[in-house]
Chains A and B, each alone.
Chain A
Amino acid sequence: MALVRVISSDGAAFLVSQRLAKRSGKLKTEIETFRKSSDNSEAQPEIRIVTIRAEILRLVLQWLQQHQNDPVLPANQNEQDGRGDAEMGQSQWDRDFLAPMDLGIVMELILAANHLEVKGLLDITCKLVESKITGRTVDEIRTAFKLKSDFKGNEEEQTRLENRWCVEN
């Protein structure tokens, strides 16, 4: 079985099958680039990912492993289908997978899934973070994400006026 070494930003190496790695659009492109540039077709590709640390990379690979037999979702699906798939794909396993994670880890997963082009994972993680925003007030969102308002004077009031224009029209 052909393997590929995927190395995280903090130097941990993961040895995964190329079949599994190719379920990420980004890794697939990288493997193909490596093939073209390498003379030896038997050589094992090595891919360094500078923006994903080991803990997150492990989670992504774990998710890929679990979903390795799902049909690959095209990246540029229209919104309606994308949403339908996300709901369909949210299995009990996914829920258990995401349940123990901190919000910060989930946000890192979103960036990683986006970078590695793993649509299914991107969908379920985005949905989780979305649930912390939809239907909440501004202050509740700030508390959930530990954000502080950096508006000065009446800037916030001004923004609120602008928003009202959009929402009421």
Chain B
Amino acid sequence: MLPPELWNHIFQYLSPEDLFSVSNTCPAWNELLEDKKTTYLFPFVLPLIMGHVERKTLFNCRSITKASKSGFDKTLQSFCNSDDVNPFGHHHEDSISQRCLREVACKLKRHYDFSHVNFKEFLQKVFPQFSTTSSEFNPFLLRHMVLASRSGDVYLPGHHVRSILPKFGHHLVSLDLIIETNSIDTLFSRIVSQLSLVPNLKRLAINPSVLQAETIPNHLARPTTSYNFPKLETWFTLMLKMFSLQEISIVWFLQCLKRMVTSLLVLFVRRPSLQRHFCP
């Protein structure tokens, strides 16, 4: 048997998961680890007690260590990826550090069953704003944002979009645009002009609530200016909802985009002839 200080030296190279196994091995080793117990058990215990901690302090847990931060974010993301909250089947990709954490969690899971802990209910209670109907998404945690607009001017409640997207746009993977407009040309040109601000976008849903489907004069149907489309390498999903717009504008828009978009969902398009213009 090695002297205790040598064991301590060896233990400092072990992962929290291994340390947990070590302390379970025999009373002598457990005694050596007595002091460090709170340190290495913290990442495992945090997910279990999250339901008991009040919201404001809970966010403090993100700032403690990297492990606690990714544990927190992971829990939130798995909640946001669940089918109840995310009916569109869009999934946030794990960052590398989160993938590592998940591996640890999987290893631990072989010994422990965390499945019955109901994070979903807890999160719905603590973060009511993370339900899909609300516009208050956090772009850092969820990589998702809902932008509403009135009379063609896009804004987020409390913040102007021109200050939001340049600062935080690169965080976004998923974007919902809810737009009230009666000018299709303006609508698309605005969207196009802001796409370069969201280089990592993978899913865009455009949900225009057209106040009045006004008849557009023929010379306006084709856009007068040519727009520079930013190259969005990773973009794959486009959702257009409730369109009852002029056919030609959409066709133009889709033709510009079709090289980039790999999946398209168009709901309530009134012109079936549109389909022949778009081959995915």
A residues touching B (Cβ–Cβ < 8 Å)?
Answer: 9-10, 26, 50-55, 75-76, 78-79, 82-83, 102-105, 107-108, 110-111, 114-115, 117, 122, 126-127, 129-130, 133-138, 141-142, 144-151, 156, 159-160, 162-163, 165-167, 169
Contacts and interface: CB of A to CB of B under 8 A. Distances in A.
B224 interface: no
Nearest to B118: A76
B51 A79 contact: yes
6 contacts: A105-B37, A114-B117, A129-B45, A130-B53, A145-B39, A151-B63
Contacts of A82: 51
Interface stretch (B134-142, B192-200, B211-219, B230-238): B134-142
B225 interface: no
Given A134-B53, A162-B141, A165-B140, A79 B24 contact: no
A167 B140 CA distance: 13
Interface of B: 20, 23-27, 30, 34-39, 41-42, 44-45, 48-49, 51-57, 59-69, 111-114, 116-118, 121-122, 125, 129, 136, 138-141, 158
Contact of B52 (A55, A104, A126): A126
Given A9-B25, A162-B62, A104 B57 contact: no
Contacts of A105: 37
A98 B68 CA distance: 25
Contacts of B118: 76, 79
Nearest to A103: B38
Question: What are the 7 A-B residue pairs with the smallest beta carbon separation, nearest first?
Answer: A104-B37, A9-B24, A130-B52, A162-B140, A107-B41, A51-B111, A163-B59
A64 to B, nearest CB: 18
Contact of B41 (A51, A108, A142, A159): A108
B129 A169 contact: yes
A142 B64 contact: yes
Contact of B45 (A76, A111, A127, A136): A111
A98 to B, nearest CB: 14
What is the predominant secondary structure among interface residues of chain A facing chain B?
helix
A165 B112 contact: no
Contact of B24 (A51, A110, A126, A156): A51
A104 B30 CA distance: 11
A15 B116 CA distance: 27
B57 A135 contact: yes
B111 A115 contact: yes
B155 to A, nearest CB: 15
Given A122-B48, A162-B140, A138 B112 contact: no
A151 B68 CA distance: 11
A104 B24 contact: no
Contacts of A10: 24-27, 30
Given A104-B41, A117-B116, A150-B65, 9 more contacts: A50-B111, A83-B52, A103-B38, A107-B45, A114-B48, A133-B57, A135-B57, A159-B63, A166-B141
A37 B60 CA distance: 49
Contacts of B136: 169
